[in-house]
Amino acid sequence: MKTSSSICVNVSKAKRLTLLSVLRRTASVIMASVMIIACFTLLSGCHGRRGNDAFVLPESFDASREYEITFWAKNDTNKTQTDIYNKAIKDFEALYPNIHVKIRLYTDYGRIYNDVITNISTNTTPNVCITYPDHIATYMTGANTVVPLDELFADSRYGLGGSEIRFDAPTQSEIVPKFLEECRIGGAHYAIPYMRSTEACYINKTYVEALGYEVPDVLTWDYIWKVSDTATAKNPDGTFAVNGQNVMIPFIYKSTDNMMIQYLAQKDAGYTTSEGDILIFNKDTFDFLYEIKKHVETGAFSTFKISSYPANFLNAGQCIFAIDSTAGSTWMGSKAPLSDIAEEMFVDFETVVRTIPLCDPEDPKMISQGPSICIFNKSDPQEVLASWIFAQYMLTNDVQNAYAETEGYVPVTSKAQKSPEYLDYLSREGEDDKEHYDIKLKATRLLLDNIENTFVTPVFSGSASVRDAAGQMIENVTKSVRRGETVDSSYMEKLEKDITSLYRLDRLKAGSNGSSTSAGDDDGSSPSDATKESFPAASKVLLTILCAVWLLLIAYGIRSFIKKTKK
Amino acid sequence: MKKIISLMLALVMVLSVTGCSSEDPSKKSEGVMTYKEYSDAALDSEVVVETYVQAKQGWWQDTATIYTQDGDGAYFLYSMPCSKEDYDKLTTGTKIKVIGHKAEWSGEVEIIDATFEIEKGNYVAEPTDVTSLLSSADLIKKQNMFASFKGLKVEAQADGSAFLYNWDGSGSHDDNSDLYFNVSVGGNTYTFTVESYLCGNDTEVYKAVEGLSVGDTIDAEGFLYWYNGVNPHITKITKK
């Protein structure tokens, strides 16, 4: 980064030129200056004005020094999870008394993403951060911002399960390969998986059977639409026949991003490519939107963003098919240990868990999602190494098992998955309605049984925007139908145009970091993408300087012309 | 000259005072709904209201979430597209015309997908005492209004504390988590919240709740927000 530093000095010098002195020069000199400023500023912007040198793994970890590392973590507003984070830090600090970990907790991936983006410009990123690969792709637009981990993985002393590591860390081969692969961006690993989940359909079996249907082992979209439409029948008094209540939304989807992405994957239809090509506006997408339209019209379908959490409706007997993350399973069912609704609102029913509806039951495809951990680069390689050692600690069996058991998460290492403690946990399904809540354990098993059927979407700078766009189309169609608007081909044309404009999809194209894969959002949050944001500060300064100089040039030219004319 | 300036200043002052006092917050322009019309409007329908900013919950990704009220009722504007520049102009009392869609999310009736324009006028609502209505079905008629609550007793959380960071204690002061505390009046217990986007950890009310003890008697003010039942967003408490 010496180049970058010297460029910054040059830019500073250029800025010190006063406007008057610029005016005194000839136009050619001014133009030359402008070009130099432009080049320097652009180069500076491209290469990260305050970037770090690429991380070089130190020969050994300097344990004689004190380190304070910051860890930005996400929890599902779950006290047990925060307790596990705190215990992990305490246990880690007992092993490494010279490394002090300061945690900052978030409940929303979008907030973490925005705070990281803000802090990249001031070089005040956290050391270790829970994140999604989609977001890392954007972080990587800064030079050497995120540490590539392959060299660290492989190091015999400090790598995964390395000889100098003071705890029983997994080896690289003990991280579930599919999950690790999801952290590969542009040919290198920029994260390690922390937890994995998928989506599940939580079903009120009692109501399904009351409607005259059976719950099949594998759901299809046709089935779920059919039963949902049937469930909208009303009594003469206006209440719903199936529950006798005034409210019934048979089918509620938490993350419409995932809904669209998974449907397209099941149909082998276009979404994006790893090169960043946007293929989402295709026939299958619009066919699906028309299908959704039909079922919004009957009152059979709604979304989290429009109506609220599927769990609240499910548990109150106001929803039959609630699709949410397996990591939300403790909120699902008539005996759910966690709930937002009053006890008296709960309705007693039999809850069953299935995979999301499929287009082809013989070809199941479902999203792989869940948090990963990345490490931000710092000027001190020892600090980065300390961060890596801590990140590795989060993969130990104690942390993996404890955190996974808080929700329907799956540990990301085979070492943890095969541990006697975890196998014992799985074997105790339904022993109680808390730690061994049967719905949570069924949701966990659902993912364990389907790891090979999971997929992730391509990651590139801007892929988070495409994800948002995918869900927004469903949200828009749903809202429009509810509002009595006409949803036809003209509507769809406008929708494509509006969504393209809103998420700037026409400007997206994968950069050098474009590559493999991404996990979806668990929490349905809608982080904005950097591509939606305005120009970087350096570009703004450059443009302002250019405009100002051009104005001065014009003024100078006019003045000279007038002078000459007068003479 | 001095006399003229003094006279003009006095005139401006008189006009300002007159303007303030003559503001009728229930009066609507042509084509704008009265509060009753808004209240009667179906969910998902388009609504046009004139209302006055009472508090701002926050600005996030070019959208603003705002508590507003006119002389008859209140309107919660959720995630309304708004530039930061305009957001800064929306000071307490500012009159705005809003066109959007009426929606309901977990019992909270709000206006979404809205556009707005600032109008001339100013009104700051006095809190309406709703203590006696807390257990009444009529409370919902006051939804989103700036309200006061008198003589509340602070009740213990499940862990014995007077309040929690986040609903289950998973948050912290440093993380600027919402505060949840239970209060009882008339034999019923209610959950009140200090919404950290509205009143963050550097505000008086946040610190005051952190200083509560079980058994304290307090008065409170805040907005009658709804989340699966009444869940006021508290902006002020006074320990008795």
> Are residues A482 and A449 both part of a single domain?
no
Question: Which residue did the predictor score with more confidence, A537 or B222?
Answer: B222
Position B4 confidence tier, pLDDT thresholds 50, 70, 90: low
Question: Which residue did the predictor score with more confidence, A142 or B229?
Answer: B229
Q: Is residue A58 domain-resident? A: no
Residue in chain B nearest A311 by alpha carbon: B106
Contact B44 A77 (CB under 8 A): no
A471 Cβ contact list (under 8 Å, min separation 6): A255, A256, A257, A258, A259, A260, A526
> Are residues A224 and A300 both part of a single domain?
yes
Contact A528 B61 (CB under 8 A): yes
> Are residues A496 and A547 both part of a single domain?
no
Which of A82, A84, A313, A498 is the best residue to mutate to test the B interface, defined by the most B CB atoms within 10 Å of its own CB? A82
A146 forms bridges with which residues in the sheet? Answer: A376
Q: Is residue A255 domain-resident? A: yes
> Are residues A189 and A213 both part of a single domain?
no
Strand B164-165 and strand B179-185: the pairing is: antiparallel
Q: Is residue A536 domain-resident? A: no
What does the alpha-carbon distance between residue A199 and residue A310 come to, in Å, rounded to a whole number? 13
Q: What is the mean pLDDT of chain B?
A: 93
Instruction: Report pLDDT digits (tens) over A183-204.
Output: 999 889 999 999 999 999 999 9
CATH number at residue A446: 3.40.190.10
- Find chain A residues with C-beta within 8 A of B197's C-beta: none
Distance from the A118 Cα atom to the nearest Cα atom in chain B, whole angstroms: 13
Q: Touching check for B173 and chain A: CB below 8 Å?
A: no
Q: Touching check for B83 and chain A: CB below 8 Å?
A: no
What does the alpha-carbon distance between residue A55 and residue B202 come to, in Å, rounded to a whole number? 38
- Find chain A residues with C-beta within 8 A of B101's C-beta: 479, 483
Contact A479 B113 (CB under 8 A): yes
CB A452 within 8 A of CB A178: yes
pLDDT at residue number A186: 86
Position A447 confidence tier, pLDDT thresholds 50, 70, 90: very high
Residue range of the domain that includes A393: 67-197+370-453
> Are residues A125 and A101 both part of a single domain?
yes
Phi, psi of B151, rounded to the nearest 5 degrees: 65, 45
**Residue from the list B169, B170, B229 with its beta carbon closest to the beta carbon of A342:** B229
**A151: three-class secondary structure by DSSP:** helix
Rounded to an integer, the average pLDDT of A560-564 is 72
Element of type H or E holding B153: strand B146-155
- Find chain A residues with C-beta within 8 A of B167's C-beta: 77
> Are residues A361 and A382 both part of a single domain?
no
Question: Which residue did the predictor score with more confidence, A42 or A247?
Answer: A247
Residue A152 has pLDDT above 90, yes or no: yes
Residue A306 has pLDDT above 60, yes or no: yes
Element of type H or E holding A230: helix A221-230
CB A329 within 8 A of CB A353: yes
Residue appearing with tokens 């709604």: A302
Q: Touching check for B175 and chain A: CB below 8 Å?
A: yes
Distance from the A526 Cα atom to the nearest Cα atom in chain B, whole angstroms: 10
What does the alpha-carbon distance between residue A537 and residue B106 come to, in Å, rounded to a whole number? 40
Q: Is residue A267 domain-resident? A: yes
Residues A157-178: b if buried by 16+ CB within 10 A, e if exposed: ebbbbbeebebebbeeebbbeb
Residue A546 has pLDDT above 70, yes or no: no
Last residue of some domain: A410, A429, A453? A453
Candidates A185, A270, A152; CA nearest to A519 is A185
> Are residues A78 and A180 both part of a single domain?
yes
Where do the DSSP E strands lie in A327-384?
351-355, 366-367, 372-375
Last residue of some domain: A414, A429, A453? A453
- Find chain B residues with C-beta within 8 A of A528's C-beta: 61
**CA distance readout (Å), A157 to A57, A229, A382:** 11, 60, 14
pLDDT at residue number A344: 93
Q: What is the mean pLDDT of chain A?
A: 86
Residue B74 has pLDDT above 50, yes or no: yes
A452 Cβ contact list (under 8 Å, min separation 6): A178
Contact B175 A104 (CB under 8 A): yes
Residue B82 has pLDDT above 50, yes or no: yes
Q: Is residue A377 domain-resident? A: yes
Residues 15-54 of B with CB under 8 A from A: 44-46
CB A34 within 8 A of CB A549: yes
**Residue from the list A105, A312, A345 with its beta carbon closest to the beta carbon of B171:** A105
Candidates B145, B62, B143; CA nearest to B108 is B143
Instruction: Report pLDDT digits (tens) over A201-251.
Output: 999 999 999 999 999 999 999 999 999 999 999 999 999 999 999 999 999
| Angle value at C-alpha A273, between A272 and A279, nearest 5 degrees | 35
Q: Touching check for A344 and chain B: CB below 8 Å?
A: no
pLDDT at residue number A515: 46
- Find chain B residues with C-beta within 8 A of A309's C-beta: 106
Distance from the B148 Cα atom to the nearest Cα atom in chain A, whole angstroms: 24
> Are residues A187 and A295 both part of a single domain?
no
pLDDT at residue number A519: 42
pLDDT at residue number A551: 79
> Are residues A230 and A108 both part of a single domain?
no
> Are residues A79 and A179 both part of a single domain?
yes
Lowest mean pLDDT among A128-137, A361-370, A400-409: A128-137
pLDDT at residue number A566: 61
**Residue from the list A77, A342, A483 with its beta carbon closest to the beta carbon of B170:** A77
Strand A67-74 and strand A99-106: the pairing is: parallel
Contact A483 B229 (CB under 8 A): no
Q: Is residue A61 domain-resident? A: no
Q: Touching check for A426 and chain B: CB below 8 Å?
A: no
pLDDT at residue number A38: 43
pLDDT at residue number A107: 86
Contact B46 A483 (CB under 8 A): yes
Contact B169 A341 (CB under 8 A): no
DSSP track, A407-456: TT-EESBHHHHTSHHHHHHHHTTTSSSSTT-HHHHHHHHHHHTTGGGEE-
CB A374 within 8 A of CB A133: no
**Residue from the list A75, A308, A482 with its beta carbon closest to the beta carbon of B44:** A482
Residue A4 has pLDDT above 50, yes or no: no
pLDDT at residue number A78: 86
What does the alpha-carbon distance between residue A342 and residue A339 come to, in Å, rounded to a whole number? 8
Q: Touching check for A205 and chain B: CB below 8 Å?
A: no
Position A11 confidence tier, pLDDT thresholds 50, 70, 90: very low
Contact B168 A79 (CB under 8 A): yes
pLDDT at residue number B16: 46
Number of domains in chain A: 3
Position B6 confidence tier, pLDDT thresholds 50, 70, 90: low
pLDDT at residue number A544: 62
Position A562 confidence tier, pLDDT thresholds 50, 70, 90: confident
Contact B106 A107 (CB under 8 A): no
Q: Is residue A20 domain-resident? A: yes
Q: Is residue A207 domain-resident? A: yes
- Find chain A residues with C-beta within 8 A of B170's C-beta: 75, 77-79, 81-82, 105
- Find chain A residues with C-beta within 8 A of B166's C-beta: 77, 79, 107
Residues A498-511: b if buried by 16+ CB within 10 A, e if exposed: ebbeebebeebebe
Domains and CATH numbers, chain B: 24-122 (2.40.50.200), 128-239 (2.40.50.200)
**A59: three-class secondary structure by DSSP:** coil
Q: Touching check for A525 and chain B: CB below 8 Å?
A: no
pLDDT at residue number B189: 96
Distance from the A198 Cα atom to the nearest Cα atom in chain B, whole angstroms: 24
Cβ neighbour number for residue A23 with a 10 Å cutoff = 14
What does the alpha-carbon distance between residue A76 and residue A331 come to, in Å, rounded to a whole number? 11
CB A534 within 8 A of CB A33: no
Residue B187 has pLDDT above 90, yes or no: yes
pLDDT at residue number A345: 95
> Are residues A204 and A297 both part of a single domain?
yes
Which of B161, B170, B188, B195 is the best residue to mutate to test the A interface, defined by the most A CB atoms within 10 Å of its own CB? B170
**B227: three-class secondary structure by DSSP:** coil
> Are residues A347 and A237 both part of a single domain?
yes
pLDDT at residue number A553: 77
Residue in chain A nearest B166 by alpha carbon: A77
Instruction: Report pLDDT digits (tens) over B111-159.
Output: 999 999 999 999 999 999 999 999 999 999 999 999 999 999 999 999 9
Where do the DSSP E strands lie in A13-170?
67-74, 99-106, 128-131
- Find chain B residues with C-beta within 8 A of A307's C-beta: 105
Contact B170 A82 (CB under 8 A): yes
In percent, the amount of chain A with pLDDT more than 70 equals 83
- Give the side-chain half-sphere CA count within 13 A for A519: 32
Instruction: Report pLDDT digits (tens) over A88-117.
Output: 999 999 999 999 999 999 988 888 999 999
